[in-house]
Amino acid sequence: MNNKTIKFSRKSAPEKSARMVETIVGCKWSLTVYNLLNNDINRPGEMVRSVEGLTTKVLNACLKRNIEFGILEREAFNEIPPRVEYQVTKFGDKFIGILNELEKLQKDIDNSHC
């Protein structure tokens, strides 16, 4: 029977995307920023004014990290005064969808005996 056994090989993990989850979840403001964007608050000044405790410096670091991951994109409009807006990319949409699933799962954990 042994020599009839189908052999499976080790399945490698989605390490890069898991690391994204790790970094973004560890980032204090990313989820808040997604929430703001979802409410059409997409200009940095507006963002800072809308959230208690959020500073321009911290927001910029957060936006930068999200752009590096390809979750958000920055659009600069050639206007006077200059206007800059942020939006979620298609890739970012999928990623945020996964975070939402993780949030639902978290509720399952919180409601269980653990």
Rounded Cα distance between 46 and 91, Å, is 24
By the rule CB under 8 A, 28 interacts with its own copies: yes
For residue 4, what is the DSSP state? G
- Which 52-111 residues touch its own copies, going by CB under 8 A? 52-54, 70, 91, 94-95, 97-99, 101-106, 108-110
- Listed in sequence order, the residues at least 6 apart from 69 whose beta carbon sits closer than 8 Å to its beta carbon are 20, 23, 24, 92, 95
**Positions in the binding site for its own copies (CB under 8 A):** 2, 5-18, 20-22, 24-26, 28-29, 31-32, 34-36, 39, 41, 46, 49-54, 70, 91, 94-95, 97-99, 101-106, 108-110, 112, 114
